[in-house]
Amino acid sequence: MTGTAAIRAHLRAMPSSPGVYRMINGAGDVLYVGKAKSLRKRVAAYTKMTGHTVRMSRMIAETAAMEVVTTHTEAEALLLEANLIKRYQPRYNILLRDDKSFPSILVTADHPFPQVLKHRGARSRKGDYFGPFAGAWAVNETLAVLQRAFLLRSCSDAVFAARTRPCLLFQIKRCSAPCVGRIDDAAYGDLVRQAHAFLSGDSREIQQRLAQRMQAASDALAFEDAAQYRDRIRALTRVQAHQDIYLAGIAEADVIAAHQAGGQTCVQVFFFRAGRNYGNRAYFPSHARDDDPATVLEAFIGQFYANKPTPRLVLLSHRLPHQALVREALAVHAGHAVQVSRPQRGGRRNVVAHAEANAREALGRRLAESASQRRLLDGLAGALGLEAAPDRIEVFDNSHVSGTEAVGAMIVAGPEGLMKKAYRTFGIRDVASSRGAGGNGAITPGDDYAMMRQVLTRRFSRALKEDPDRARGEWPDLILIDGGAGQLGVALDVLADLGVETGEDGVTVAAIAKGPDRDAGRERIHLPGRRPLSLPARDPVLYFLQRLRDEAHRFAIGAHRGRRSRATHRSALDAIPGIGARRKKALLHHFASAKAVSEAGLADLEAVDGISRAMAKKIYDWFHTDG
């Protein structure tokens, strides 16, 4: 039972309290997460036959089950909704896909001489945190200023304790060397207080104080000290000169602006802390084409602040549909009052307009890139004789050295370019030992055909299991294999064995082989039942195919090198059942090497701390049993 019938069945027991509901399809995937002041009234609206968009009608038709969680207030429901959307990434919700954490600056408070450093993640270490900064560049620049202006240490506590003489940072006047006593506790504490004041927005007062000290040192003919004060003042001035926009009289605020065009939306977020601009970042939420900017902005804000500190002021380019509710939810989440407003005039409006202009320019660049990518896909369709431009291209390649640490790789491309979150690696299984050819179904080292067969079998067996109806958009329209006619034949055989249709009625498969002498520009494209195709050397479509092949090769080599690097750090002891980290450490401590363990007698093994008689017998048999 699916659709409105399934929703009506759940509606009978639906409470009238605030809460969050999840709509689930027959495969158990969450289709949509929504919140409501009254769950019964909101869910009942889905049972009506009219008034739904095409997208919502499709979602209702797919719904097979529902789950609800009640909350005390609608604001709590809004917070829970944002967290569940981030967890499940439902296909019918507006989604903030790029949700990386922001760096901040930490001035530690768990050491007599505090350290200043870049910080990401949970704020669990004792100290004062300043930020967030929009990116690593902004935080690194501020850290450089802190080093030049306040000479605070950046080294770890372990390095600090082990120093016997000043490091290079002291020599270039970026640290006061408290590790070797070049500054006492009181003087260093004064530097820390100045850094706090600077990060809190009092840079001009600090500059005035430093200027007074510089003058006093100059009057006392201490010109070297005066020069150091001059350099510290210059460092502070350099930061102020980079402040192209600022919010006068506002210590802490986020400015969030949206611009919509071509069915897409760009959201720009500017961070203002301590009266300074800490940078900005552009986001492109995934949403339906008929979602208006205010609706997208409201969904964005809920997900954006779900795992980030909320400032006391949020300035917006659009009034939200439920602005009072959003303000209440942010206050609950932050633990302090949060003002959410859309300014109409003055300096605040100018800053929002600046963010809007940035959003418009970023979206314009993205649409231009998308248009260029679409032209390439259209050209590729024409070159390969496809009925339409492919929406998803999967490119496969293998990498190994003489068959060792073999790995298969898949990259994915579409209308928006490379889809790196969809990349996959496949560790090649059942590779025969290099001491002999493969037997009992094992892959002979270096057998590229067998490796490609395994990779494609695993990829499409899983696709058939997880998405047999091809409803998730995760099936390719075009499969590209790095190789020639042989690799193409392997791919066609695998898909035929799995019952996956190819050609005009299914997936298009092609192989791209390097030209004579492996020359770029002379590649030959192999297609089933056709003569190999060669494109003109300056054809943009050929360049596009080269980029895809090179990206797959790069990704495969990177995965192979990673496996090879890990293999060099593995010990022969790792393969013995029952040997964990503690026993391995005890054996290596006793015998000094894995080779010595393999040559040890039974009595010697029993003498190792933590190795029982039975375990010693197992280790001895592992190294001395033939086969």
Mark whether 114 and 10 lie in a shared domain.
Answer: no
pLDDT of residue 626: 54
Predicted confidence (pLDDT) at residue 264 exceeds the cutoff of 70: yes
Mark whether 165 and 210 lie in a shared domain.
Answer: yes
- Among 536, 560, 584, where does a domain finish? 560
**Distances, alpha carbon 325 to alpha carbons 36, 75, 442, 454, in Å:** 11, 6, 62, 53
- Among 54, 88, 122, where does a domain finish? 88
Mark whether 525 and 483 lie in a shared domain.
Answer: yes
Look at residue 247 and tell me if it is in a domain: no
Name the residue among 391, 393, 408, 420 with its Cα closest to residue 512.
Answer: 393
What is the mean pLDDT of the segment spanning 469-476? 75
Q: Is the pTM of this model over 0.75?
A: no
Mark whether 531 and 397 lie in a shared domain.
Answer: yes
Predicted confidence (pLDDT) at residue 35 exceeds the cutoff of 90: yes
pLDDT of residue 235: 61
Alpha-carbon distance of 171 to 173, in angstroms, equals 5
Q: Alpha helices, DSSP H only, in 335-426?
A: 346-384
Lowest model confidence (mean pLDDT) among 147-151, 229-233, 465-469: 229-233
Look at residue 382 and tell me if it is in a domain: no
> How confident is residue 385, by pLDDT bands cut at 50, 70 and 90?
confident
Look at residue 566 and tell me if it is in a domain: no
pLDDT of residue 492: 93
What is the mean pLDDT of the segment spanning 601-624? 84
Look at residue 620 and tell me if it is in a domain: yes
Alpha-carbon distance of 271 to 255, in angstroms, equals 7
CATH code of the domain in which 321 resides? 3.30.420.340
pLDDT of residue 430: 67
Mark whether 299 and 204 lie in a shared domain.
Answer: no
pLDDT of residue 156: 87
Each residue of 424-444: pLDDT tens digit? 988 877 655 443 444 445 666
Mark whether 157 and 119 lie in a shared domain.
Answer: yes
Each residue of 142-196: pLDDT tens digit? 787 777 778 888 888 888 988 888 888 888 888 889 999 889 889 898 888 888 8
Pair 418, 554: CB distance under 8 Å: no
Mark whether 405 and 478 lie in a shared domain.
Answer: yes
More reliable by pLDDT, 234 or 582 = 582
Mark whether 539 and 576 lie in a shared domain.
Answer: no
More reliable by pLDDT, 359 or 580 = 359
pLDDT of residue 343: 92
More reliable by pLDDT, 385 or 226 = 385
Mark whether 320 and 449 lie in a shared domain.
Answer: no
Look at residue 99 and tell me if it is in a domain: no
pLDDT of residue 97: 72
pLDDT of residue 436: 40
pLDDT of residue 242: 46
Mark whether 124 and 36 lie in a shared domain.
Answer: no
What is the mean pLDDT of the segment spanning 570-591? 76
pLDDT of residue 431: 55
Predicted confidence (pLDDT) at residue 602 exceeds the cutoff of 90: no
- Among 537, 560, 583, where does a domain finish? 560
pLDDT of residue 204: 65
Predicted confidence (pLDDT) at residue 220 exceeds the cutoff of 90: no
Look at residue 374 and tell me if it is in a domain: no
Lowest model confidence (mean pLDDT) among 10-19, 533-542, 594-603: 594-603
* 112: number of Cβ within 10 Å: 9
| Mean residue pLDDT across the chain | 83
What is the mean pLDDT of the segment spanning 282-311? 90
How much of the chain, in percent, has pLDDT values that exceed 70?
Answer: 87
pLDDT of residue 525: 92
What is the mean pLDDT of the segment spanning 10-14? 87
DSSP symbol at 72: S
Contacts for 441 with CB less than 8 Å, ≥ 6 apart? 430
What is the mean pLDDT of the segment spanning 507-512? 92
Rg value, the chain, Cα: 31
What is the mean pLDDT of the segment spanning 487-515? 87
Mark whether 466 and 553 lie in a shared domain.
Answer: yes
DSSP codes joined into one string, 479-526: EEEES-HHHHHHHHHHHHHHT--BGGGSBEEEEEE--GGG-TT--EEE
Q: Which domain holds residue 435?
A: 393-560
Pick the most confident of 98-107, 240-249, 441-450. Answer: 98-107
Alpha-carbon distance of 380 to 542, in angstroms, equals 8
**Distances, alpha carbon 225 to alpha carbons 193, 204, 222, 294, in Å:** 20, 20, 6, 56
Lowest model confidence (mean pLDDT) among 43-52, 53-62, 141-150, 398-407: 398-407
Lowest model confidence (mean pLDDT) among 59-68, 123-132, 144-153, 223-232: 223-232
Residue 411 carries which side chain, given as an amino acid letter? Answer: I
Look at residue 286 and tell me if it is in a domain: yes
Look at residue 370 and tell me if it is in a domain: no
pLDDT of residue 236: 63
What is the mean pLDDT of the segment spanning 278-289? 87
Looking at the structure of the chain, the number of domains it has is 5
Lowest model confidence (mean pLDDT) among 332-336, 449-453, 516-520, 620-624: 516-520
Predicted confidence (pLDDT) at residue 400 exceeds the cutoff of 70: no
Mark whether 590 and 552 lie in a shared domain.
Answer: no
Predicted confidence (pLDDT) at residue 34 exceeds the cutoff of 90: yes
CATH code of the domain in which 20 resides? 3.40.1440.10
Alpha-carbon distance of 39 to 10, in angstroms, equals 11
pLDDT of residue 269: 92
pLDDT of residue 246: 57
Paired sense of beta strands 65-70 and 508-513, if any: unpaired
